[in-house]
Amino acid sequence: MSALICGSLAFDTVMVFEGRFREHILADRLHMLNVSFLVPGMRRNFGGCAGNIAYNLRLLGGEGLIMATVGHDFAPYAAWLEAQRIAQTHVRALREEFTAQAYITTDLDDNQITAFHPGAMNHSHLNRVADAPGTRLGVVAPDGRQGMLEHAAQFAAAGIPFLFDPGQGLPMFDGEQLRAFIDQACWVAVNDYEGGMLTERTGLSLEQIAARVTALVVTRGAAGSWIYAHGQRHEIPVARAARLADPTGCGDAYRAGLLFGVQRGLDWPSTGRVAALAGAYKIEHHGTQQHHYQWVDFAARFRDSFGYAL
């Protein structure tokens, strides 16, 4: 059961400021802010929600196809995807645009200042779900606004169950639109902050949202996650990480675990634990697609972490 993952592909340029923003930003001068930070550390990563989810799903042995729009500068990322054996059949290149770009500056307290240029991502609505015949499972992840609206409607019209993962795209939609996404989706996944925003904008409690979908997933960082399904709330523990290197992309790794569980027909407690462990592998490494593992190692670590075998 291959998943069609509609979402962004982006370059993430990450810079490290060896100080603290709060020591350089004056509270009484915010109306005339003009600051500069020296960033001796910098790296450029391949990212974007669709790329990250597909990469992690590939590591798990699941099946995923990316549907995204990219720009004229995409060649290095394309070479990386090819090397990882991730198909680009539904990646549309727009020669007049840049690929989406995130410029992230992080300080010693892990605070971040991010500038994001959507570029080709704004044209994601040019892709159509019908362009991928045979799709049986979908994902609507952060992408161009119109693309997210249209892809959700297309999945629903075709009777294809899909995961709605609004992420950083959530603020683009009002309560009525978010309720429509929920009613069209089979599964909804948010972090705890997004969950609060989702309930505020829709006027629905988490329990009410869960009653309208097959499962609602709320990730809660170090506190684990909740999966609401079939009238129950499953408490999913975290998987212990060997080190905490970089949280960026952990949510995407978790969502890949959810897809893997759905593809393999796992129960929700096991699906959540697979997702949690996928996130733990990610947080141990810098970058969103720099971690690697084999299934035999993942399965052994799962048994050690949770006390039973998959």
Token readout for 286 is 């810098």
Q: What is the DSSP string of 14-65?
A: EEE-SS-GGGT--GGGGGG--------EEEEEEE-HHHHHHHHHHHHT--EE
Question: The whole model's pTM is what?
Answer: 0.94
Q: Counting beta carbons within 10 angstroms of the beta carbon of residue 48, is it exposed (0 to 12), middle (13 to 18) or buried (19 or more)?
A: buried
**pLDDT single digits (tens) 228-262:** 999 999 999 999 999 998 888 999 999 999 999 99
Enumerate the domain spans of the chain: 3-9+47-100+119-306
| Superfamily in which the 3-9+47-100+119-306 domain is placed by CATH | Ribokinase (3.40.1190.20)
**pLDDT single digits (tens) 162-203:** 999 999 999 999 999 999 999 999 999 999 999 999 999 999
Question: Is 90 exceeded by the pLDDT of residue 28?
Answer: no
On average, the pLDDT of the chain sits at 96
Average pLDDT over every residue of 139-146: 98
Question: How many other β-carbons are positioned within 10 Å of the β-carbon of residue 130?
Answer: 10
| Helix %, strand %, coil % of the chain (to 5) | 45, 20, 35
Average pLDDT over every residue of 11-26: 90
Task: Write down the residue that tokens 């799709």 correspond to.
Answer: 135
pLDDT number for residue 183: 98
**pLDDT single digits (tens) 2-18:** 999 999 999 999 898 99
